[in-house]
Amino acid sequence: MSPRDAGWQRSAIGAAIGIAAALPLAAWMWGFTIDDALISVRYARHLADGAGYRFNAGGPVTDGVTPLPWPFLLAPLAHADAMTVLVRAKCLGLGAWLGAAGALGAAVARAEGAAWVKAAAAIVLALSVPVAAHAVSGMETGIALALATCAAIASRPRAAAVLAGLAAAFRPEMAAWALVLAVLRAPRDARRVTERAILAAIALAPFAACAIARVLVFGRPAPLAVMAKPSDIEHGAAYAIVAVVVTLAPIAACAPIALRRARGPAVAIALAGVAHVGALVAVGGDWMPHARLMAPIAPSLVFAFVLAAPHARAWSNALRGAIAIVASLALFHIVPSGRNVGSDRASLVAAARPELANASRVAALDVGWVSAATEAPLVDLAGVTDPTIAALGGGHTSKRVDPVMLLDTGADALLLYSPVAIDLASWTTARYPRVVEARLARSELIAERFTARAWLPLGATGAGYVLLSRDKR
- Domain positions in the chain: 3-338, 356-470
State residue 42's pLDDT score: 97
Where in 344-449 does DSSP place strands (E)?
A: 362-364, 378-380, 413-418
Please tell me the distance from the alpha carbon of residue 321 to that of residue 115, in angstroms, as a whole number.
13
State residue 336's pLDDT score: 58
Please tell me the distance from the alpha carbon of residue 18 to that of residue 12, in angstroms, as a whole number.
10
Residue type present at position 65: V
- For the chain, helix, strand, coil in percent to 5 are 65, 5, 30
Please tell me the distance from the alpha carbon of residue 147 to that of residue 159, in angstroms, as a whole number.
11
Asked if residues 252 and 120 have their Cβ atoms less than 8 Å apart, the reply is yes
| Per-residue model confidence as pLDDT tens for the chain (473 residues) | 566 656 788 889 999 999 999 999 999 999 999 999 999 999 999 999 999 999 999 899 999 999 999 999 999 999 999 999 999 999 999 999 999 999 999 999 999 989 999 999 999 999 999 999 999 999 999 999 999 999 999 999 999 999 999 999 999 999 999 999 999 988 776 457 888 899 999 999 999 999 999 999 999 999 998 888 887 888 989 999 999 999 999 999 999 999 989 888 999 999 999 999 999 999 988 888 889 999 999 999 999 999 999 999 999 999 999 999 998 887 776 665 678 899 999 999 999 999 999 999 999 999 999 999 999 999 999 999 999 999 998 888 899 999 999 999 999 999 999 999 989 999 999 999 999 999 999 999 999 999 999 999 998 888 999 999 998 75
State the pairing for strand pair 362-364/464-470.
unpaired
Asked if residues 239 and 286 have their Cβ atoms less than 8 Å apart, the reply is yes
Stated length of the chain: 473
Neighbouring-strand partners of residue 363: 379, 414
Please tell me the distance from the alpha carbon of residue 344 to that of residue 82, in angstroms, as a whole number.
15
Asked if residues 126 and 298 have their Cβ atoms less than 8 Å apart, the reply is no
State residue 238's pLDDT score: 93
Q: Both ends of the chain: CA-CA distance in Å?
A: 85
Inter-helix orientation angle 175-184/141-153, to 10°: 10
> In a 3-state reduction of DSSP, which class is residue 242?
helix
Fold of 356-470: D-Maltodextrin-Binding Protein; domain 2 (3.40.190)
DSSP per-residue string spanning 297-358: GHHHHHHHHHHHGGGS-HHHHHHHHHHHHHHHHHHGGGSGGGGGHHHHHHHHHHHHHHHTTT
State residue 190's pLDDT score: 44
Asked if residues 338 and 289 have their Cβ atoms less than 8 Å apart, the reply is yes
**Phi and psi dihedrals of 275, rounded to 5?**
-60, -35
State residue 288's pLDDT score: 83
Give the number of other Cβ atoms within 10 Å of residue 370's Cβ: 28
Which residues have C-beta within 8 Å of that of residue 65, sequence separation ≥ 6?
Answer: 39, 40, 43, 71, 223
Give the number of other Cβ atoms within 10 Å of residue 60's Cβ: 12
